[in-house]
Amino acid sequence: MEEILNKILDRLDSMDKRFDSVDARFDSVDARFDAVDENFVAVDEQFKSMATRLTNLENGQQPLQLEQSEMRKEVAFYYGSLMKKLDETKSELSSEIKHVSNIQKQHQDVLEILNEKQQ
């Protein structure tokens, strides 16, 4: 009986380590979301800069029209890259949530075993 309880305790310790690992992964995901937020702020600043340049284009300045065209390509690329990174982050988060769910199920199974052993 004591051996079974020790095995269960070892398993619970192992699960605690896994939960710690999952917590670390969530911290990593949070850091990635913070980085994405910072990137969106940078994109917003670039859009504000573009608005100023578009005003100059409306005044008929040919050289600025060429520059504006290039900037649109850069912003489109940057925005596309950000969206791709956001999709990857969402996918990783979904995977982490599934992992936590699996661990939670294992935890529930252990609790059920413990409950059965106590009865």
Q: What is the dihedral of CA 71, 72, 76, 77, to 10 degrees?
A: -40
Q: Given this model, what pLDDT does residue 52 score?
A: 84
* pTM, entire model: 0.37
Contact criterion met (CB below 8 Å) for 110 and 8: yes
In angstroms, rounded to a whole number, what is the distance separating the alpha carbons of residues 47 and 79? 11
Q: Where are the domains of the chain?
A: 2-118
pLDDT of residue 81: 93
Tokens of 68: 């504006």
44-102 pLDDT, tens digit per residue, is 899 889 888 788 667 777 776 788 899 999 999 999 999 999 999 999 999 999 999 99
State residue 64's pLDDT score.
66
